[in-house]
Amino acid sequence: MDGAVPERWRTPVTHLPGARRRPVRAAATLAAAALALSACGSSETASPAADAASEAAASETTVGTAFGEVAVPADPQRVVTLAENALDVALSVGVTPVGTTASRGGNAAPAYLGEAAAAIPVVATVAEPNLEAVLEAEPDLILASAGLAQEQYDALTAIAPTVVPDTATGGDWQEPLHVYAQALGADDELTADLDAITARAEAVAAAGSLDGTAAVLRWMANGALVMNSALMPGSLLQAAGADPLPIADLGAEPHSDPLSLENLGQVDADRLFVAAFGADGKGALEAAKAQPAFTQLGAVQAGTTSEVDGSVWSSASGPTAAQLVMDDIEAAAS
């Protein structure tokens, strides 16, 4: 990237298989119903209290979350994002948060999101929010990560309406993105972005250039982990025509599964995408490259191994990250 979040791509095609969107119920509909009923009453003019209630209802929408339906501002002005994919979604639909979370293992917003993200104050780590910093940001909407603990949710929702997707780590990667976009009133824009990503993957599949098996390895300081094929990179690889390995079918929960150097042969796919995470991960990968268990892999010998950005492939899942993953997939297929 050149330091800025890419323009949105808007090819109107269908989503990846399994993508779903939760309906957002506009509270304005309820307000209209209330006004209609009041018009049928004996009073010719609405009371000040009724007017205030109607105005409040018209200024909100309702989003389904892990903690039930949450009323959020129809036009939020001060958004705090406490998940990397929430920040990615916000920036992609033109919303600049007033506070965000640091990247995994870092102390600033994810580098792949460029200067637009770098200027946003950090009010949380991946592990937990800094409640004082969140409060000082004066948000009118908080977008938090899936799996947020009840205690943290209670503290955040006391500050501002808090939206938490209810999907698991290995579930449909697009689902949480739609929840965030609905809370921002921008699901149509997100849908166009995701449609464009799908179109790119389908074009690769139609060319047949990625036929065969593919796997994604996350390389950490203590070695390799095979990534769940249900996560964003694995899902895009399948949409692009590659078949996942059985070892990468980790169900709905695990992000990845440790794999010893001795068992590296279990990911002997036609293509490998290796995502080293952090400086320690890169060092461990370089050391592994000298080992027979690595050099004897079919993809290594065939020259079909791609080293990719670990912060994007193994940690991110927003629309901008997905576009970057597709860049790498297209490069590997060319």
Range of the domain at 151: 25-32+58-193
222 and 118 within one domain: no
Q: Residue 104's pLDDT band (boundaries 50, 70, 90)?
A: confident
Higher pLDDT, 13 or 51: 51
139 and 264 within one domain: no
Tell me what pLDDT residue 134 has: 98
Query: Maximum distance among all alpha carbons in the chain?
Result: 87
63 and 187 within one domain: yes
CB atoms within 10 A of CB 112: 20
Average pLDDT in the 8-24 region? 38
| Distance from C-alpha of 50 to C-alpha of 183, rounded to nearest angstrom | 26
Tell me what pLDDT residue 183 has: 98
- Report yes or no on 237 lying in a domain: yes
pLDDT in tens, 302-332: 999 999 999 999 888 999 999 999 999 999 9
In the predicted model, is pLDDT for residue 62 greater than 50? yes
Tell me what pLDDT residue 58 has: 63
Tell me what pLDDT residue 279 has: 85
237 and 219 within one domain: yes
Q: Which range is least confidently modeled, 40-49, 136-145, 324-333? A: 40-49
- Report yes or no on 52 lying in a domain: no
Burial code of 302-313, b = ≥16 C-beta within 10 A, e = fewer? Answer: eebbbbbbbbbb
The answer to whether 220 and 255 have CB atoms below 8 angstroms apart is no
Tell me what pLDDT residue 326 has: 98
138 and 75 within one domain: yes
pLDDT in tens, 20-29: 333 433 344 3
Mean pLDDT score of the chain, rounded to an integer?
A: 84
pLDDT in tens, 253-290: 667 888 888 889 999 999 999 999 888 899 999 999 99
- Report yes or no on 90 lying in a domain: yes
Q: Best-predicted range by mean pLDDT among 6-10, 160-164, 228-232?
A: 160-164
Would you state the structure tokens that stand for residue 199, as one six-digit string?
């179109």
In the predicted model, is pLDDT for residue 76 greater than 90? yes
256 and 215 within one domain: yes
DSSP letter, residue 129: B
Examine the fold and report which residue of 193, 225, 243 is the final residue of a domain before the chain moves on: 193
In the predicted model, is pLDDT for residue 35 greater than 80? no
- Report yes or no on 17 lying in a domain: no
The answer to whether 97 and 120 have CB atoms below 8 angstroms apart is yes
Average pLDDT in the 224-232 region? 92
Tell me what pLDDT residue 255 has: 77
Higher pLDDT, 54 or 138: 138
Residue with tokens 């992000």: 255
In the predicted model, is pLDDT for residue 120 greater than 50? yes
| Distance from C-alpha of 128 to C-alpha of 147, rounded to nearest angstrom | 12
Q: Residue 143's pLDDT band (boundaries 50, 70, 90)?
A: very high
In the predicted model, is pLDDT for residue 8 greater than 50? no
Predicted TM-score (pTM) of this structure: 0.81
Strands 243-244 and 213-220: parallel
101 and 161 within one domain: yes
316 and 229 within one domain: yes
In the predicted model, is pLDDT for residue 15 greater than 50? no
Would you state the structure tokens that stand for residue 283, as one six-digit string?
């060092």
- Report yes or no on 223 lying in a domain: yes
pLDDT in tens, 245-254: 999 988 776 6
pLDDT in tens, 176-220: 999 999 999 999 999 999 999 999 999 999 999 999 999 999 999
In the predicted model, is pLDDT for residue 87 greater than 80? yes
DSSP letter, residue 290: T
Number of structural domains in the chain: 2
Tell me what pLDDT residue 257 has: 82
Type of residue found at 167: T
Q: Residue 7's pLDDT band (boundaries 50, 70, 90)?
A: very low
| Distance from C-alpha of 27 to C-alpha of 115, rounded to nearest angstrom | 36
